[in-house]
Amino acid sequence: MYKQIDSNRRKTWILILLFIGVLAAIGYIYGTLSDLGPFAVVIALAISVGMTLFSWFAGDKVVLATSGAKEIKTRDENPYVWNMVENLSITAGIPRPRVYVIDDPAANAFATGRNPEKASVAVTTGILSLLENEELEGVLAHELSHIQNYDTTVMMIAAALVGAIVILGDYFFRFGFLGGRSRKSGSPIFMVIGILFLIISPLVGEVIRLAISWKREFLADASGALLTRYPEGLARALEKISTHHRPVARVSRATAHLWIANPFSSKKASSFFSTHPPVEQRVQELRKMAAAG
């Protein structure tokens, strides 16, 4: 389990460094073809970070409200879920997050919040009725691991980098067609490069962002298994969720990566551009840990 955790953390930061390298390369090429130079990268990052910070501070409230989540404010309202979250939080050494239930037959769950002190965990009524005790514990341990590992912070960094790449691509496009402060910025070659970057750069950025999301899912699986000391519980939960898969009623693409399983249709869940790795692969890794333990 420790090896899996270290491996996924290391690969995540390698991907982020690659992400920054792609952004730097775009900025360098832009600087050689226009008068703005590195200043364009600074502008793109500033705009992107500003937009991302808004989501950072208000995003958890938005996703909880749009998903129809209702907070369990006292233990008596749902002692089963409350006690399980509380016990796992004590084991993880983090404050107990706020607990929410979503009235939806789809079996799914997510965690949100910018830090452990501001975190929330939400589960659907569908997952509560589908899973046994050890399986639900595995799911909740996975979600608490997202909080413990500051995955929201990592994905915020990835979102900011994607945003900066998109903005730079837009700069290329506009300078290519409208011209800039120098003759070379309005040249045909600049226009061609701008169009190529407008098409390719966001795609490259999105692929890297999704790769980071996959690694954080594997990390949360391994961390959750370490938390419960029972990888088989989460493995069986993922198999059940996959077998009884149905889309979540109220969800958007912007929040899809938060859920433990892809909240869209099973066809989208198997896509190369899915926010989640294949369930079979996740279960295989969990059972490797169980066998090694």
Q: Which residues are catalytic?
A: 143
Q: What are phi and psi of 94, to 5 degrees?
A: -125, 160
The three-state secondary structure class of 71 is strand
Distance CA 237, CA 123 (A): 13
What's the number of CA atoms in the CB half-sphere (13 Å) around residue 106?
Answer: 21
User: How do strand 69-72 and strand 120-124 relate by DSSP bridges?
Assistant: unpaired
Q: Which two tokens stand for residue 200?
A: 């390719």
Distance CA 3, CA 43 (A): 40
DSSP H helices, the chain, are 2-33, 38-66, 79-92, 125-130, 133-148, 151-178, 188-228, 231-243, 266-269, 279-292
Q: Cα 101 to the chain's mean position, in Å?
A: 21
Question: Using CB atoms within 10 A of its CB, is residue 32 exposed (0-12), middle (13-18) or buried (19+)?
Answer: exposed
Distance CA 262, CA 107 (A): 10
Cα–Cα distances in Å, from 235 out to 168, 270, 284, 287? 42, 18, 8, 7
